[in-house]
Amino acid sequence: MTKLERVRVSPYLTRSSPASQLQSGLENFSPFLYPTPYIYKQPRTSRYDRSKKQQAAPAAHIKMKLHAAVAASLLALAAAASAAGAVTFDATNTASGTPGGRRFDQAVGLGYAKRVLSDASAFIWHTFDQRSTAARKPVAAVTLVVEDIGGVAFTSGDAIHLSARYVGGYPSGGDVRAEVTGVLYHEATHVWQWDGRGAANGGLVEGIADYVRLKSGYAPAHWVKPGQGDRWDQGYDVTARFLDYCASLKPGFVAQLNAKMKDGYSDDFFAQITGKSVQQLWQDYKKYGG
């Protein structure tokens, strides 16, 4: 009987299409745990003698037909996924000649960075409860560029730019790989999150990105403690801690908030989800933190 060979197929589609209905089968297979499930297909073989084929047992023919039918179905599913396009992840270091660029290569590496982009994207989809590709942004590729620039990092469209100077200046006794990982989780969130078509509060947008970093386990020790901060929309770690409090009151809060921000933004989203205004939630949070 003809042997079957394994072929890797990405389950991630990037645009809503009829193919996404076929793709749901793979997504129900838990893509966050198995990002590239296997399918099986029959390998190409040389021509075989017709007389030997005729001599094969009837049972063998039945088995081969069953395998062929299963393989055809799985290949059709794979073709649908391929037609819609799979998300790819890439990373380059244009600052390898600088101290920070060399430290990135030694302590982090491009291979590891690409894996982080993939893992972070899967984690973000899970955090946002985006089980179908139709619920996500139509992103075909996420890229990282390590550059000789100031600051820490920024995201433009689907491209993340990381400062080699920041990597080089990170304390020598610190875990620079963990820090870069946390930064990439934050920046990857900007690739995938909705921002109310530009109307969302900037502090909230940054707070959601740091919320993802917090829940991924890569929050640095210097972040504010729960209950600290001056305003709910102060941004970054302050807002991330506040959102974590809101999520403790309403599981899935951040996922619902992000979904509402697809087509616009209003502070009233907080009340729609929790039953309390954002100002009341902040007051309660300050008491909770104190």
Q: What is the pLDDT of residue 251?
A: 98
Choosing from 155, 173, 192, the residue where a domain stops is 192
Instruction: Please tell me whether residues 208 and 283 are part of one structural domain.
Output: yes
Q: How many domains does the chain have?
A: 3
State the residue range of the domain holding 153: 87-192
Closest CA to 87 of 175, 11, 179: 11
Q: In the structure encoding, which two tokens stand for residue 82, read together?
A: 């391929």
Strands, E assignment, the chain: 5-8, 38-41, 88-93, 141-147, 153-156, 159-163
- Mean pLDDT, consecutive 10-residue stretches, the chain (290 aa), reads 37 35 37 33 35 43 50 46 68 98 98 98 98 93 98 98 98 96 98 97 98 98 96 98 98 98 98 98 88
Same domain, 67 and 132: no
Structure tokens at 219: 């929050």
CA distances to 106, 169, 210 from 160, in Å: 20, 19, 15
Pair 237, 223 in one domain = yes
Q: Of 141, 173, 192, which residue constitutes the final position of a domain?
A: 192
257 backbone dihedrals φ, ψ, rounded to 5° = -65, -45
- Token representation of residue 90: 């890439």
Q: Domain check: are 206 and 152 in the same one?
A: no
pLDDT for the residue 114:
98
Is the Cα torsion angle 18, 23, 27, 33 positive or negative in sign? negative
Same domain, 42 and 65: yes
The predicted structure's pLDDT at residue 36 = 35
Q: Are 262 and 242 in contact (CB under 8 A)?
A: no
The pairing of beta strand 38-41 with beta strand 88-93: unpaired
* Whole-number CA gyration radius for the chain: 24
The tokens 């087509």 sit on which residue? 263
Q: Does residue 185 sit in the same domain as residue 98?
A: yes
Residues 225 and 288 in one domain: yes
277 and 214: one domain?
yes
Assigned token pair, 47? 């021509």
Statement to judge: residues 96 and 186 lie in one domain: yes
Number of CB atoms found within 10 A of residue 136's CB: 21
- Does one domain contain both 188 and 132? yes
Same domain, yes or no: 132 and 221: no
Which of 84, 112, 141 terminates a domain? The answer is 84
Q: What is the pTM of this model?
A: 0.72
Report pLDDT for 10: 34
Q: Are residues 68 and 120 in the same domain?
A: no
